[in-house]
A and B are shown apart, each in its own frame.
Chain A
Amino acid sequence: MRALLLRDLRLAMRAGGGFGLAMAFFLIVVVLVPFAVGPRADLHSAIAPGVLWLGALLACLLSLDRMFALDWEDGTLDLLATAPLPLEMVIIAKALAHWLTTGLPLVLLAPMLGILLNLAPEAYGALTLSLAVGTPALSVIGAFGAALTVGVKRGGLLLSLLVLPLYVPSLIFGADMVRRASEGGAVTTPLLLLAGITCGAIALLPFASAAVLRVNLR
């Protein structure tokens, strides 16, 4: 499993691997929003939690279709399925690699972009924490969507349609947690719900993903 994780990380760093794509997209969204809504600092503060979470979520979505499609096209997935590594572990390794190359950079980048949106100073801790807790769920749910659509040519649209509804709970509680923090309120409830979604997704979805992948490989 370590070998697969390291290979995926190495592939992501090499030319054409797509590392940085998510961060660039996140940066573009957050930089453009103030231009779009006009020079009103109070409005920026009000929408900052939602915009930051939405930007991170869409940035995650951007690189999902590569997760299995590339290994499917060059036959690696067939070979991995017949290798001693259980398919569930393949899913976990790939979701983890996706999170390390997409989710984690977004977590680290978000506080810097919060400044651009005039985010309330009290909310920076909550922003980082909510993304750190919430984005693993996005990668694991995304792996499930990618496994479902792996044989479909240009499956990106179908993948987005399947995955976005499953992202909604994370988005609601994540953005809510940042909003509450910026208003000086307690964040425990949304944090626990967000953590619950992530834990549930990590516990259940690798098995579901491996099952649909087996069907897709027939």
Chain B
Amino acid sequence: MSDTRPLLETRALSVGRGGVGLLEGVDLRIMPGSALVLRGPNGSGKTSLLRTLAGLQPPRDGTLEAEPDDIVLAGHLDGVKPTLSVAENLRFWAEIFGTSGIEQALRTFDLDRLRDRMAASLSAGQKRRLGLARLIVAGRKLWLLDEPTVSLDQEATGLFASAVRAHLDQGGAAIIATHIDLGLAPIEHMDVSRYRAAPPAPDDFDEAFA
């Protein structure tokens, strides 16, 4: 595989939620080593766009070209089981993704000391770090991150930023919906609100009663 092939490419992609169009005409091209930050007000469709890119919901229109095996998603929820320990949680995802070794992930997010702690007794920020450590365990090229820094303190945000940087240096890529400046040097920003879908035409109103 050559490095010049984009990891993900969309053309005129339309995204909706609950049958309502949110974004249309989204053209994205994510090359290895690049990061894209999605911005936009609440409810503008950042999460729906990420879920569509991850393949959880079908696009309303347009084309989406990506290798599903390249993608890992980290959403609002961390998928952490409270009655499993930190190491057990990570080991489970390592086995699911067919990778080995959780040590690097534990070190990257400074979870070494917590490895035998039950996830139920973690603080919100520690839980988030565990959720993000799953990204490293998954070993996928393209990270789709939805508000990854929620409930992280400044130090943990720094850990996260350097993890993303290391990932990009290894030829990975990331699409991040966030409002925080992560201090990533070569980065593109995209305000999703410029792709906002046109509101449904007024005559749709009558069709609802037809």
Contacts and interface: CB of A to CB of B under 8 A. Distances in A.
B81 A82 contact: no
A86 to B, nearest CB: 11
What is the interface residue range for chain B against chain A?
20 to 34
B22 interface: no
What is the interface residue range for chain A against chain B?
20 to 34
A81 to B, nearest CB: 6
Interface string B74-103: 011111110110001000110111100000
Interface string B178-204: 000000000000000000000000000
Contacts of B134: 79
A183 B79 CA distance: 52
Given A2-B95, A3-B96, A82-B73, A76 B54 contact: no
SS class of chain B's interface: helix, strand, loop or mixed?
loop
Contacts of A76: 79, 81
A82 B50 CA distance: 12
B96 A75 contact: no
B96 A82 contact: no
B90 to A, nearest CB: 12
A79 B97 contact: no
Interface string A12-32: 001111000000000000000
A10 B78 CA distance: 19
Contacts of B88: 7, 10
Contacts of B77: 73-75, 78
Given A75-B76, A82-B72, A83-B96, A15 B83 contact: yes
Given A7-B84, A14-B83, A75-B76, A81 B96 contact: no
Nearest to B55: A82
A14 B75 CA distance: 26
Given A75-B76, A79-B79, A218 B95 contact: no
B92 A3 contact: yes
A199 interface: no
A9 B210 CA distance: 52
B71 interface: yes
B56 A84 contact: no
B83 A74 contact: no
B185 to A, nearest CB: 29
Contacts of B76: 75
A115 interface: no
Given A10-B88, A16-B83, A74-B80, A84 B95 contact: no
18 contacts: A7-B81, A11-B81, A11-B83, A11-B84, A71-B79, A74-B79, A74-B80, A74-B81, A76-B79, A78-B79, A79-B75, A79-B134, A80-B96, A84-B69, A84-B97, A85-B96, A218-B57, A218-B58
Interface of A: 2-4, 7, 10-11, 14-17, 71, 73-76, 78-85, 217-218
Interface of B: 51, 54-58, 68-69, 71-73, 75-81, 83-84, 88, 92-93, 95-98, 134, 138
